[in-house]
Structure 1
């Protein structure tokens, strides 16, 4: 596990945060964690990619809202544009699986603390919690 991922895992353990890692993938200086979590009534997967070669941490919340095939995409995109203009980060969009996801990248020069990644994740989850009811209308 790379240094940034180790600091984050240590932070989770120190805070006794109830987020159980369901998958860890390691490849050189790249470590990816996957977590199952609930945001309101929506089951989501949180992916955290610690890439020390690119000096960034990518946080992604998958399946915030799974859209039906007959939803009004124009209205969905209008709502996402409204949300994205309200928040500097994270950003929300529709992925290839017709699901609304949320993403943020934390770039860094020399290192990033586990505490900072934890705080960004907590903030991101709060933003998602704040908008999920509005987005659920487009299922």
Structure 2
């Protein structure tokens, strides 16, 4: 497994675990009847995002310690796979921006706007990494 593919797996695990932690902390409040504007989601979201960044760095280091790569420089295949994955994942960032724009125009609470953007960032990360992993396993499709 290449250095880049290992990093992709780490990123996928961190994205899924981080978003699960965030949902497990915020969703019970929302489902428990707390109005959205009363939920103190900002510190939780910031800690989860910061934790995800730190976890990605530590995860990447640990993976390299446990299973060192022969080389850390990507080749042309890695670049093509990265480009494909980012292209697929970026569509969710656009969807999130449009969703937040619509919610802002409807004067929705900041909770809904921020969580729409966060959800789409997570979806972008997950879909992008899954696309990359599939491309590593099956090859880059020739359109």
* Range class of TM-score, shorter chain: 0.3 to 0.5
More helix by share: 2
More strand by share: 1
Greater Rg, structure 1 or structure 2? 2
Q: What's the TM-score once normalised by structure 2's chain length?
A: 0.32
Structure with larger RCO (C-alpha < 8 A, sep 6+):
2
